[in-house]
Every structure is written in C-alpha cells, then in structure tokens.
Amino acid sequence: MKTKTLYVGLVAGLFAIGSPAFATDLVQAYRDALGHDAQLASARFQLSAARSRVPLARAGVMPSANASVNLNRQLVDTNFGPSQDFNAQSYVVAGSLPLYRPQNWESFEQGKLSEKISEAQYAQAQQDLMLRVAQAYFDVLAAQDNLTTIRAQKRAISEQLAAAKRNFEVGTATVTDQQEAQSRFDLTVAQELAIENDLDVKRASLSLLVGKPIGTLYTLRSGIKLEGPQPALESEWTENARQNSLYVQQALIGSELASREITRQRLANRPTLDLVAQVSYGINPSASAIGVKATSGLVGVQLAMPLYTGGAIQARIEEAVANHEKAKADLEVARRSAEQAARQTFYGVRSGLAQVSALEAAERSSQLSLDSNLLGYQVGVRINIDVLNAQQQVFSTKRDLAKSRYDVLVNGLRLKSTAGALGEEDLQKVAALLVAAPQ
C-alpha cells in the first residue's frame, strides 16, 4: 500500500510547480505587451503617418498664400547716360484658391481611405498580439505540465525501483524487475533535462513578448467544462469571416482606393481653375525710375488646360485600371482565405472539444487500470513493468488532457479573430477560467 499512497500524493500535486514571489495574469500579460511589442508599435506609427496624410491631401483643396522678398544690388551702364548703381527691393504676397481641381478632391478622398486601411491594420495587429500572448502563455503552461508530469513519473518510477530492489533482495522478484525500473528511471531523467530546457525557452519567449520577467502563471481550473463556439454553425462563421475579417476589410478598402485612382487619373485631362490674388510693393522698380516706390495688386482667375502630355495621362489611366483589377482579385483572395481560416479553426475547436471528452474518459479508465495493476503487483499477479506502464499512461493522459484544453481555448480566440470580432473581453473570459497556482 505504500506505493499506492505515494502515487496518490504525486497525483494530488500534478501540474503544480514552485512559484516565484509574484504572479502573471493572462490579461495583464497582454496589457504589458501592448506597450512593448515592436510589431504593434510599427502598426501604431503607420496609423499615425496615415492620419497625417489626410490633412496633407486636404491642403490641395484649401487656399494657399506665400510671401517673397527680393533685395538686389544693381549696376546699369548705358550709352545715353551716366552709369547707375542702386538697390532694388520688392515685397510680394500672393495667394490662390482652387475653384475647380477635381484631381485634388480625389486625392483627399484617397487619403481618408488610406487612413481606414491603417486603422484596420492596427486593429489586426492588436488581435494578432492577443493571440501571440495567449499562445505563449499556454505554451508555458503546457511546458510546466510536461515538467511536472515527468517529475511525477520519475518519483513514481523511483519508488517502483526501490520496491523492486527490496523484493529482489528478499527473493520475491527477479532481477529483471529491477533492471526494467532502472532503465525507465534513467530515461526519465534524460527527458526531464530536455523538458526543463524547453520550459526555460518558453518562459523566455513570453517574457520577451510582455517586456518584463514573468512570475507564476495562473493555471486552468480543475474539472472545467469548455463550451463550443457560438454560433454553432460552421456556415455562419465562414460568412462572418468573408464579410467582417479585418484582412477582408483592408482588401475591400484597397479596392475602393484603386477605383478612385482610376477616376483621379482620368480627371488629369480636365482643366483647372484657380482664383489668384497678389499684392506687391517695390522700390526702384526699374533703372529709369530710381527712387520711385510702387504698389500694385491683382485679382483674377487662372485657367490651365493640358493639351498634350506625350501619352502620360493615358498610360497612367491604364496602369490604374490594371491595379484596380489586381485589387479586386486580392479582395477575393482575402475573402477565400478568411473563409478557409474560419472553417479550419471552427473544425479545430470542435475536434478539440471531442478530444477533450475522449481524454477525460481515458483519464478515468487509465486511473482504474493503474489501481488494478498496483493491486495485482501487490498480490503477485502483475509484474513491475505493468505498473510502470500504467503509471506512465495516467500521467501522459493528464498532460495531454490539459494540452487539449489549452488548444481549445486558443483556437476559440483564433476563431473570433477570423471574423474580426476578437477583443480584450474575450481574453478576460479565458482568464476567468484560470486560477492562481497552488503555492
């Protein structure tokens, strides 16, 4: 019974490891990453640049004014008078107001569309960061489970090894039992070293993502029941993805942007009309009027009409048409990709839930098998290797069950992302399923 008592103690501590002095919550990890992640920062600055281009495009339809000052030293020498050496000064203020510049209005509308694309890209970067943090977080939990499992196996095998040695000494077991336990123990030690290294790598990856050291991670509550995706129909998810995916939204706006580029290039054949005004003040405006001061002003309209550009306008129109066709094809590609991603993720969640149910049943049956093998070993109808195999099956099943649950949770977040609906509140719902690790 000593072996069984030890085993019960090991199972009670399964998936619990030593804890640093502070804990790292899933939502807090994401919030820390918001201010540290370089990919998100890149998207943020891209959005800022796109917003700056809107007033830049608006300037093309707004009034403009400029001032100029000219100070010149002039020397005039003619054959009908003495040479003259004087300073000439002029001060000019000129302004213009676009009355008819349709190309500039199209550029302004394109600037607003570019801002919308950058907003969608930034929203996608936020969702991608959320998924990366969640994946890294659960990767660490899975690595911890692996380490705890292998350590529990090592302790159980160590106990079986000690029991095999005692039984061999008293003549109730063969040397084969001892050798099998020793072999399994040595292999477990080697696996433990590899898993420790993997855990260190996973923790470093999460720490790099959030920008600071991480403490104890919250673990999944025991006996948790995971819910399936809502809505429960795959067709609804694929249709939502085709319409609402952020990648599709970017491609849709890009197609509209390309369409407006065709219009803008065609408008290059139109005349432009500006209201112009100018005020100037000059001293010594000519060599024949030294010392004279003159002020002048003008107000009028200025019409410009392209007559011949060497075929440049038509070439730009053809280029814009081709780019528009490409943008429409890219839009269809984005829709199909979003639909396929939603379908795959939906089936991944559903398959994961089925796997969780199967592993829960396997956990119960493997536990019964271990209990039977422990009892059979004590009465002499089972050998040591039977108990070792049963113990390994129990530990491996518990580890795989936890990993399957992690995958379902991450895929659930990924499924909402395919429809462009993933938000921090979804991460909070997942975080509510986690509890502080036992100390």
The mean pLDDT of 39-49, rounded to a whole number, is: 95
398-426 burial string, b = 16+ CB within 10 Å, else e? bbbbbbbbbbbbbbbbbbbbbbbebeeeb
pLDDT-based confidence at residue 173 (cuts at 50, 70, 90): low
Question: What is the rounded CA–CA span in Å between residue 93 and residue 99?
Answer: 20
Domain spanning 2-63+101-269+311-435: which superfamily? Answer: Outer membrane efflux proteins (OEP) (1.20.1600.10)
Q: Sign of dihedral through CA atoms 409, 211, 35, 121?
A: negative
User: pLDDT, tens digit, for every residue of 209-260?
Assistant: 999 999 899 999 887 889 889 888 999 999 999 999 999 999 999 999 999 9
User: pLDDT, tens digit, for every residue of 303-334?
Assistant: 999 998 899 999 999 999 999 999 999 999 99
What is the model's pLDDT at position 429? 94
User: pLDDT, tens digit, for every residue of 124-160?
Assistant: 999 999 999 999 999 999 999 999 888 888 887 787 7
Q: What is the DSSP string of 7-34?
A: HHHHHHTTT-----SSEE-HHHHHHHHH
pLDDT-based confidence at residue 18 (cuts at 50, 70, 90): very low
Long-range contacts of 43-47 (CB under 8 A, 24+ apart): 43/118, 43/121, 43/122, 43/124, 43/125, 44/122, 44/125, 46/118, 46/121, 46/122, 47/115, 47/118, 47/119, 47/121, 47/122
As a whole number, the mean pLDDT across the chain is: 86
What percentage of the chain carries pLDDT values higher than 90? 61
What is the model's pLDDT at position 20? 47
Q: How far apart are the first and last CA of the chain?
A: 28
Q: What is the pTM of this model?
A: 0.82
What are the extents of the domains in the chain? 2-63+101-269+311-435
The mean pLDDT of 61-86, rounded to a whole number, is: 81
User: pLDDT, tens digit, for every residue of 127-136?
Assistant: 999 999 999 9
CA quadruple 192, 193, 195, 196: dihedral, nearest 10: 110
What is the model's pLDDT at position 373? 79
Q: What is the DSSP string of 240-278?
A: HHHHH-HHHHHHHHHHHHHHHHHHHHHGGGS-EEEEEEE
